[in-house]
């Protein structure tokens, strides 16, 4: 595994729409592993492929230690409720913002074996699903934050 360089706000990669993964190759599997290592090293709870300069529809999330969620070609298929809270982003260091997201979210994606699955999450996991999947379409939380503030 290798720790990858996290792309920061201002880099045009973060504003591009990612391409779907057509075939899960050994390179894609290595990317998943490297993204998890990178996310953990940066104390993040989620990381999307464009944040490491790869324009593919891949996300990793770990809201509970040891429980990594890998999502390939994810789509949000249901959302309900509302929550407002603080978000940060590994690509926007030193800043946080207040963002309103759904309280409950269900995603459909492929796992590392190419099998389709659905997963639902509430609160932090729902927020992470929305935040990370936004990255795949070139959107950052700063675009939807009600207010921004320093995280230092």
For every residue of 28-64, DSSP letters joined together read HHHHHHHHHHHHHHTT-SEEEGGGGT--BSEEEEEEE
pLDDT for res 2: 83
- The answer, yes or no, to whether residue 138 has pLDDT greater than 70, is yes
- The answer, yes or no, to whether residue 53 has pLDDT greater than 80, is yes
Assign 151 a pLDDT band (cuts: 50, 70, 90). confident
Burial degree of 59 (CB within 10 A; 0-12, 13-18, 19+) = buried
Rounded to an integer, the average pLDDT of 4-10 is 97
| pLDDT tens column, 64-106 | 999 999 999 999 999 999 999 999 999 999 999 999 999 999 9
- The answer, yes or no, to whether residue 1 has pLDDT greater than 90, is no
Rounded to an integer, the average pLDDT of 25-38 is 98
pLDDT for res 146: 94
> Hey, what CATH class is 12-150 in?
alpha beta
Give percent of the chain with pLDDT exceeding 90: 97
- The answer, yes or no, to whether residue 130 has pLDDT greater than 80, is yes
Which position has the token pair 């030193």? 94
Count other Cβ atoms within 10 Å, centred on residue 88: 16
- 121 - beta bridge partners? 105
Q: Which of the residues 62, 70, 87, 132 is marked catalytic? A: 132
- The DSSP output letter for 10 is T
64 is catalytic: no
Length of the chain measured in residues: 152
Which residues have a Cβ under 8 Å from the Cβ of 43 and sit 6 or more positions away? none
Rounded to an integer, the average pLDDT of 131-135 is 98
Which residues have a Cβ under 8 Å from the Cβ of 2 and sit 6 or more positions away? 34, 37
- The answer, yes or no, to whether residue 152 has pLDDT greater than 70, is no
Please check whether residue 14 is in contact with residue 49, taking contact to mean a CB–CB distance below 8 angstroms. Answer: no
């Amino acid at each position: 595994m290798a720790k990858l360089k996290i792309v920061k706000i201002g880099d045009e990669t973060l504003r591009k729409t990612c391409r779907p993964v057509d075939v899960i190759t050994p390179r894609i599997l290595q990317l998943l592993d490297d993204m998890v290592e990178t996310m953990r090293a940066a104390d993040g709870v989620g990381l999307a492929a464009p944040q490491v300069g790869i324009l593919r529809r891949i996300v990793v999330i770990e809201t509970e230690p040891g429980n990594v969620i890998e999502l390939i070609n994810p789509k949000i298929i249901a959302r309900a409720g509302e929550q407002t809270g603080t978000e940060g982003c590994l690509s926007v260091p030193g800043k946080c913002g207040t963002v309103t997201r759904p309280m409950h979210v269900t995603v459909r994606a492929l796992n590392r074996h190419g099998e389709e699955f659905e997963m639902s999450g509430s609160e932090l996991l729902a927020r992470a699903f929305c935040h990370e999947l936004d990255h795949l379409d070139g959107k950052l939380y700063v675009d939807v934050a009600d207010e921004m503030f320093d995280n230092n």
